[in-house]
Amino acid sequence: MSLLQRIEDAVARGPHALDELVATTEFPHVEGRSVTFLFRGEAQEVSLQHWIHGLPGSLPFRRLRHGEAWVLQLDLPPRSRMEYKIGVSMFGRGVMLRDPLNKHTARDPFGANSVVYGEGYSPPEWSLEDPEARKGTIEDRFVDSKVYGDWRPIKVYRPARFRQTRRYPLLVVHDGFDYLGFASLQQVLDNLIHRQEIPPLIAILTQANDRMREYAADPRQADYLVKDLVPQMEQILPLVREPSARAVMGASFGAVSSLAAAWRHPGYFGKLLLQSGSFVFTEIGDHDRGPVFDPVVKFVNEFRKAPGKPADNVFVSCGVYESLIYYNRSLVPLLQETGMQVRFREAHDGHNWENWRDRLREGLSWLFPGPLWLVYE
Amino acid sequence: MLTSAILLGPQRHVRIVKPALDALVPDDRRPVALASPGWEEREAEDMEFRDHVGREVVNLEVWARVERIFERDRELLAAMRERHDTLRRVQELYRLRLQGALQAIRELMGRPGKDVWLAAERHDALVMLQGIDAQHVARVQQVHEEFEARWRPAERSSVQREKRELQQRLGDCAALCLAGGHIAVLLHRLRLFDVLGLHGDRPVVAWSAGAMALCERIVLFHDSPPQGGGCTEVMEAGFGRVPDLVALPHAKKRVDVSEPRNVQLFARRFAPSLCVLLDDGSRIDWNGARWSAQPGTHRLGEEGWVEEAGA
C-alpha cells in the first residue's frame, strides 16, 4: 500500500488511526524522488509556499474526505533541499506556518522556514560542530569609514593558534554577521582549517547599514573596502599584503557588491567567491525587478560590456531552484573570457543561507587550497 | 638502518610517547632530544610534550635554525626556494602520468572476471604504476643531488655554525623524538643538518609525519580531499632508517577502507612494504631485525581488508 493510500485509509478509520500513522511516519515523507506533505487542521485552503523558480509559488494541498487532513505530493530530486511554509486560509484570512510535523528548519534574517531534504541529502559533516577542531576567535571592532563618514561595525575572525608573528591571507565577507548566524561560518572556517583544507586565515565580517543600497554595486562600498577597511585591518592584523592572498565574498546582493568592488579596483582582490549573485542584466528594454535593482542592472550591463579582469580566481555558485540561475549561468562564460580561473557550481537548492553554507567548502578550498596533503600532525 | 625505533600515531589525543621512551631507554637519565620542525613556527611550544614525557627534553630547534640561516644566507634561501619550485613542478608532472595509470588500474580491478588475460593486464598495470612511483623517487633524488652538488649546503658557514650547535645539543641525548607536522618542511630541514646522521644509532621515537620521514618512501594520501580525486602519491624518499614500511598517519580520516579494491590497490602498490595505519594509539616497534605491532595497530591487507599489523 502506498503512503498516500495509507493516509487515506487512516483518515477513513478516524483521528486515532491518523494519530498513529503520524506517530510512526516521518513527515514530510521522502521516498525516492517523491515527497509527501501532510497537514492536519481546520482550514478552507492549504497550500505549500516555496521559492522554487519555475514552479507556481503556491501549490495546493488536497483535502481528504472533507476532513481535517490535507496532503500534497511533489517530485524532489535526490540530494536537494527545499525550504517552504504552509499557507492556511480560512474565511478569507491566511497565515503562513512552519510545518508542524517537520522538525527541520532553516533560519534566515527574517525568521525560519521549514526545510525538506531530498533523498541522500544531509547537512555536510564539515559544517557541524567538530569537538576535535580547535576554535578560532571572533572580535567585535569598528572601522572609521572616511568613505561613508561613519563608524562601521565589523567582526574579526582569527584562526585557532593565531600568532601575531605570522602572516595570514584575508577573506572579506559581505553580510558577515549573517554568514555567522545562518551559515555557520565560524564553525566552517574552524573545521576547514583544522582539516588543513584551507590555510589559517583571517576573515573580516562586514555588515551594511543600508544593504539594498550599499550592496547594489554602490561605488562607495567598493571604496570602503579598498580604502578604509582593508588598509585599516592591515595596520592592526598580520595580513599578507598581496592580491593573491586577498579574497572578497558575498551572497545575493553581497555577491554583486563583491564583483563590483573587484571590478572598480581590478587586481586588488585576487580571489572572489560569489554565491547566488543577483547579477540581473538586460539585453533589450527594462527589467522587472523593481527600482532596488536599477543600480545592479546598470552595473551588470556595464560589466558585461567591459569586464576587464577584476581578479585571478573566481568561484561562482547558484541554486538551480533560484530565478537567478539564468543570470549566473550567463555570467560564467563572460568571466572565463576575461582570463580568470573560474569554477562554477550549481546545487539543487534555492536562494538561502544553507545553500550558501553547503558550498563554502568547495569554494574556499579551491580559492585557498590548504596544506592537506603535506601536514600530518 | 636503526637498531631500535618506535613509530606512533598522532599524539594530540592519545599520548604514548612516554611508554615508548620507557621501553627503548628505560633506566637512562640522560635527556631526550625533540625535533619538531614540522610544527614550523610553533616548534618551541613543547610544554605539553615535556609534561608528558617527564624527562629532561632538549629541543633541537631545527626550524628556527634554518630560519636564522635564511636571514644570514640569502643565496641559500634563494637556492632552496628554487629547489622547492622545481620539486613542485616534478610532482605536478609525475601526477599527470600517475592519474592516468591509477585510472587504468582501477578500471581493470573493477572489471569482473578471472581469466588470465585480465589478470595479466592487472599485473602489468600494477608494475607500471610501481615503475612510475620509482621513477619519480629517482627524479626527486636527482633534484636533491644537483642542489647538493651546486650549493654544497653542508659546507656553508651559515649552516655549519648551526649544525655544530645542534650537534652539541644532541650530544648526550639518550633518544630522539621526531614529531609530526608538515612533512616536506620536516624532511628538508632535518636533512640540511643531517640530524639522523648526527644522532647515529641511538633509539628514535617518531609519530605522524615524523614516522613517515623515517621510512624509505613518503606516501601522501587522502581519499576524499575537497578538490580533486584523491590520488595517493609518492613525495620522495624518506630517511630510510626503518625498512619495509609505509607510515599512514590519521588513516581513519584519510583512507577509504570501506572499499576493498581501494585497500587492495594501496597495499599491493607499495608491497612488500607494510602499509601501516597510524591512528590514535597505534604503535609499531622496530628492533633492528623485525617489526612488532601493538594490538589495535592495523595495516592494509593485499586481499582488500584491514588487518592487525601484528598478524
For the domain that residue B198 is a member of, what is the CATH number?
A: 3.40.50.880
CA-closest candidate to residue A372, choices B188, B136, B223: B223
Torsion of CA B249, B250, B255, B260, to 10 degrees: 80
Per-chain mean pLDDT for chain A: 95
Do B215 and B301 share a structural domain?
A: yes
Rounded mean pLDDT of A353-376?
A: 96
Task: Give tens-digit pLDDT for A301-359.
Answer: 999 999 999 999 999 999 999 989 999 999 999 999 999 999 999 999 999 999 999 99
If one counts the domains in chain B, the total is 2
Distance, in Å, from the CA atom of A358 to the CA atom of A155, rounded to the nearest integer, reads 22
Angle at the Cα of B151 (from B148 to B154), degrees rounded to 5?
Answer: 70
Give how far A104 is from chain B: nearest CA, Å.
27
Question: In this predicted model, what pLDDT tens digit does every residue of B246-285 receive, in sequence order?
Answer: 999 999 999 999 999 999 999 999 999 999 999 999 999 9
Closest residue to B184, CB basis, from A365, A366, A374: A374
B268 shares its domain with B258: yes
- Label the pairing between strands B57-59 and B298-300: unpaired
Quick check: A50 pLDDT over 80?
yes
**B85 within some domain:** no
Using pLDDT thresholds of 50, 70 and 90, give the confidence band for residue A298: very high
Cα–Cα dist A129/B253, whole Å? 16
pLDDT at residue B115 in the model: 94
**Structural domain includes residue B83:** no
Nearest chain B residue to A198, by CA = B226
Do A47 and A59 touch, CB atoms closer than 8 A? yes
Q: Do B182 and A365 touch (CB under 8 A)?
A: no
Are the CB atoms for B274 and B299 separated by under 8 Å? Answer: yes
| C-alpha cell, A236 | 592592526
Helix or strand holding residue A83 (H, E): strand A81-90
Chain B residue numbers touching A372 (CB-CB < 8 A): 222, 225-226
Among the partner-chain residues B41, B181, B226, the one whose CB lies closest to the CB of A197 is B226
Q: Which pLDDT score is estimated for B230?
A: 85
Contact B182 A372 (CB under 8 A): no
Select from B13, B95, B227 the residue whose CB has the most chain A CBs within 10 Å, as the one to mutate to test that interface.
B227
Bond from prior residue into A295 cis (ω within 30 degrees of 0): no
Record: contact B220-A365, CB cut-off 8 A = no
Q: Which residue of A has its CA nearest to B184?
A: A374
3-class DSSP assignment, residue A121: coil
3-state SS, residue A327? helix
pLDDT exceeds 90 at position A32: yes
Q: Which of chain B's residues have a Cβ under 8 Å away from the Cβ of A166?
A: 41
Is pLDDT at B96 greater than 90 in this prediction? yes
pLDDT score, position A289: 85
**Chain A residues with CB-CB distance to B44 below 8 A:** none
B270 located within any domain: yes
What is the structure's pLDDT at A165? 85
Q: Residue A19 CB: number of other CB atoms within 10 A?
A: 12
Q: Give the three cell numbers for residue B224.
A: 576524499
One domain, residues B119 and B251:
no
Q: Are residues B220 and B299 in the same domain?
A: yes
Using a CB-CB cut-off of 8 Å, the residues of chain A touching B213 are none
Non-local CB neighbours of A245 within 8 Å, separated by 6+ positions? A167, A168, A169, A170, A239, A270
Q: Which residues in chain A are contacts of B250 at CB distance < 8 A?
A: 376
Q: Are residues B283 and B157 in the same domain?
A: yes
The answer to whether residues B145 and B166 belong to one domain is no
| A32-52 mean pLDDT | 93
- Selecting from B13, B183, B227 the residue whose C-beta is nearest the C-beta of A374 gives B183
Burial A83-96 (b: 16+ CB within 10 A, else e): bbbbbbeeeeeeee
CA distance B214 to B38: 14
Contact A372 B225 (CB under 8 A): yes
* Chosen domain end from B100, B133, B150: B150
Q: Tell me the average pLDDT across A207-220.
A: 96
Rounded average pLDDT over B105-128? 96
Q: List, in sequence order, every beta strand (DSSP E) within chain B.
A: 5-8, 32-35, 57-59, 175-178, 181-182, 204-207, 217-220, 233-237, 245-249, 274-278, 283-286, 291-293, 298-300, 306-308
- Determine what percent of chain A is predicted with pLDDT higher than 70: 100
Residue B79 lies in a domain: no
On whether both B128 and B260 belong to a single domain, the answer is no
Q: Is the pLDDT of residue B99 over 80?
A: yes
- Closest Cα in chain A, distance from residue B253 (Å): 10
Residues B65 and B189: their CA atoms lie apart, in Å, by: 9
CATH number of A125-367: 3.40.50.1820
Cell numbers that stand for B264 in this block: 587492495
What span, in angstroms and rounded, lies between the C-alpha atoms of B89 and A25?
Answer: 57
pLDDT, one tens digit per residue, over A254-286 is: 999 999 999 999 999 999 999 999 999 998 888
In a domain, B76, yes or no: no
Query: How many alpha carbons lie under 13 Å from residue A328 in its C-beta half-sphere?
Result: 30
Q: Which pLDDT score, from 0 to 100, does residue A67 have?
A: 76
Tell me the domain boundaries of chain A. Answer: 3-117, 125-367
| Residues of chain B with C-beta less than 8 angstroms from the C-beta of A373 | 220, 222, 225
For A377, the closest of B180, B184, B235 (CB atoms) is B180
Instruction: Specify whether the CB–CB gap between A48 and A61 falls below 8 A.
Output: yes
Q: Interface of chain B against chain A, CB under 8 Å?
A: 10, 12-13, 38-39, 41-42, 180-184, 208-209, 212, 220, 222, 225-227, 235, 249-250, 253
Query: Both B175 and B274 in a single domain?
Result: yes
Full domain range(s) for residue B113 = 91-150
The mean per-residue pLDDT over the stretch B191-207 comes to 97
Domain identity same for B268 and B134 = no
What percent of chain A shows pLDDT beyond 90? 88
Question: Taking CB atoms and an 8 Å cutoff, what residues of chain B touch A163?
Answer: 41-42
H-type alpha helices, chain A? 3-13, 15-24, 176-182, 185-194, 211-214, 219-223, 230-236, 253-264, 294-305, 325-337, 353-358, 360-367
Q: Do B209 and A366 touch (CB under 8 A)?
A: no
Question: Searching chain A, which residue's CA lies closest to the CA of residue B8?
Answer: A377
Q: Of B150, B165, B200, which closes a domain?
A: B150
- Which residues of chain A approach chain B closer than 8 Å at the C-beta? 132, 161, 163, 165-166, 192, 195, 197, 361-362, 365-366, 369, 371-377
The answer to whether the Cβ–Cβ distance between B181 and A369 falls below 8 Å is no
* B187 and B241 inside one domain: yes
- Whether residue B60 is predicted with pLDDT greater than 70 in this model: the reply is yes
- Is the pLDDT score of B52 beyond 80? yes
Listing from the earlier edge strand, what are the strands of the sheet with B274-278?
B245-249, B274-278, B298-300, B306-308
- Taking the C-alpha atoms of residue A153 and residue A171, their distance in angstroms, rounded to an integer, is 16
The pLDDT, as a whole number, for residue B311 is 66
Tell me which chain B residues have a C-beta less than 8 angstroms from the C-beta of A377: 10, 12, 38-39, 180-181, 208-209
Report whether the peptide linkage leading into residue A28 is cis, meaning its omega lies within 30 degrees of zero: yes
Give the relative orientation of helices A360-367 and A185-194 as an angle to the nearest 10 degrees: 50
Cα distance between residue A205 and residue A179, in whole Å? 8
Same domain, B191 and B103: no
Chain A environment of B249 (Cβ under 8 Å): 376
Look up the CATH architecture of domain A3-117: Sandwich (2.60)
Same fold, A3-117 and A125-367: no
What pLDDT does A107 receive? 84
The verdict on a CB contact (< 8 Å) between B41 and A375 is no
B81 located within any domain: no
Q: Is the same domain home to B120 and B178?
A: no
The Cα of B70 is separated from the nearest Cα of chain A by a number of Å equal to 16
Query: Chain B contacts of A362, Cβ < 8 Å?
Result: 226-227
Predicted pLDDT at B123: 97
**What is the bridge-based pairing of β-strands B217-220 and B233-237?**
antiparallel
- Residue A7: pLDDT band (50, 70, 90) is very high
